[in-house]
Structure 1
């Protein structure tokens, strides 16, 4: 099949589900991934003949997109903070707002201009996007990460190898963890924070295909991960150590209040690129 014929089929198949701009974006991603054609190449080579194996993949991808399977899962990869990552059904697809959390930590370390080594613990490994990006961008960082899912850790380990960084991954249920292995300078976490009542706001591609364990908490206790991690941070953060969270946009004030009750005295609530409360930095006033 010629590329122009496949493109016509592709747009027709998806036209009732997605806007044209999104379909074009999917098309560009798929042809670059499978045919190694940039957008300009596709425009200049409409008669490009797609080989059978590649065509089978593209047709399957079209069917998957009709079922609203995320494009990142279809091609098995994505980009985060300028780095490549493998993704699959066992890990969340990294979001732009999480990049902002990572950037906050990196910029804080640059501002301190410290040549000393720093120990960082990420809680909730997932794809490894947070710990790997931090290890890649903070000189002298010793980074470790915890996740309850062995399958997520396997994916994160592949991503650490892909990005040539050394991360210590540990399998543990943080809600049932009483002790951390050592004192650290930074704890960062993007834990499950979406309440059941918020499911109606979410798209099908998230609800049906991304791992529920990494997304949702019960309505009655939506801050349980923050409560637990803050308790651990009190005992395992070094002097002047910092705690960073990605948070539920509707629970910013509640999360701040929780941290105050734990004894954190320096708390900063920050909005993301969409203008909603999305991240918190907290520390103890050690002066």
Structure 2
């Protein structure tokens, strides 16, 4: 059997292409080789005749079997990258996505990194938003909430591993809210209508937590409205609210926030030109 890394790469990409498309298949195999076996893309290209050991070949074969069953590559290797840092991911958490990096970058662009702020991340999941803000705004106090105990435990592990000071707490936004004021509240809540489920890839629907993904078709802004209400009583004067949103609900979210009494409400587009983020200020 040919164990040369160049041949294995080509064969693996061919196997995954019918499921993921060629470009994503190439990205997945590059990630698998680098983070599972320590073979970087440059090393693969400059050492195409390198032979994989039997143990490495078996490790790759086992990973491929999972990928062919639509298991996300991040679950296969156990982590995902977010803003160039590794985050533990599992069945309790969403896999961090590039659009959410843009949300963090927006917050960092609009706020003084050296100012001491009280920051709350609602629906923290892996903790990627809260941890990124805590590491970039070290004078600030950052708290992450999630209704899932499993997600909170995962976020705590990520916070410790990355050296961030974040208070991770189990909290239901529809329950009683602790009496604390914040200068900034951010959330990437569930926002995908159930009607969109049929269009989504199986490796998302089958392996990521439904409660962190989907909302009712009848009330897709349910979490945004509730978090906006929390902001009315828990944001300090001049406090800011930041959301990641569904591309179809930018105007609706903006109108809802204005109706609630927020000012300077603005919708921002992501790198693909889709409405993806909203910022509002409570004066």
Do the two structures share a fold, i.e. TM-score over 0.5? yes
Unaligned regions of 5+ residues in structure 2, if any?
A: none
Distance 1:117 1:226 in 2: 26
1:14 Cα deviation after fit: 2.4
Deviation per CA, 1:146-204: give whole Å up to 9, x if none. Answer: 1000111111111101210111011011122x323411100000100110111123222
Distance 1:253 1:156 in 2: 32
Q: Aligned residues, how many?
A: 281
Matched residue SS, 2:207: coil
Is the 8 Å Cα contact of residues 181 and 235 (structure 2) preserved in structure 1? Answer: yes
Distance 1:95 1:34 in 2: 20
1:164 aligns with 2:166: no
Is the 8 Å Cα contact of residues 131 and 167 (structure 1) preserved in structure 2? Answer: yes
Distance 2:37 2:59 in 1: 10
The 1:128–1:261 alpha-carbon spacing in structure 2 relative to 1, beyond 3 Å, is: same
Is the 8 Å Cα contact of residues 180 and 236 (structure 1) preserved in structure 2? Answer: no
1:252 aligns with 2:254: no
- Match of residue 282 from structure 2: 284
Distance 1:82 1:5 in 2: 29
- Match of residue 48 from structure 2: 46
TM-score calculated relative to the size of structure 1: 0.92
Is the 8 Å Cα contact of residues 130 and 144 (structure 2) preserved in structure 1? Answer: yes
Task: Determine which of 195, 200, 203 is the counterpart of 1:202.
Answer: 200
Distance 2:86 2:32 in 1: 16
Is the 8 Å Cα contact of residues 80 and 89 (structure 2) preserved in structure 1? Answer: yes
1:99 Cα deviation after fit: 0.8
Deviation per CA, 1:225-270: give whole Å up to 9, x if none. Answer: 1111111100010111101111111111111111122111221111
Deviation per CA, 1:96-125: give whole Å up to 9, x if none. Answer: 111111111111113xx7x54110000001
Is the 8 Å Cα contact of residues 109 and 138 (structure 1) preserved in structure 2? Answer: no
Distance 1:8 1:248 in 2: 36
Distance 2:251 2:42 in 1: 48
1:81 Cα deviation after fit: 1.5
1:64 Cα deviation after fit: 1.6
| Aligned pairs for 1:231-270 within 5 A | 231-270=229-268
TM-score calculated relative to the size of structure 2: 0.93
Distance 1:64 1:86 in 2: 18
1:186 aligns with 2:184: yes
| Aligned pairs for 1:92-171 within 5 A | 92-110=94-112, 115-171=114-170
Is the 8 Å Cα contact of residues 180 and 232 (structure 1) preserved in structure 2? Answer: no
- Match of residue 64 from structure 2: 62
Show structure 1 runs of 4+ deviating over 6 A. Answer: none
The 1:264–1:8 alpha-carbon spacing in structure 2 relative to 1, beyond 3 Å, is: closer
- Match of residue 13 from structure 1: 15
Distance 2:267 2:91 in 1: 31
What's the Cα RMSD here? 1.7
Distance 1:252 1:173 in 2: 25
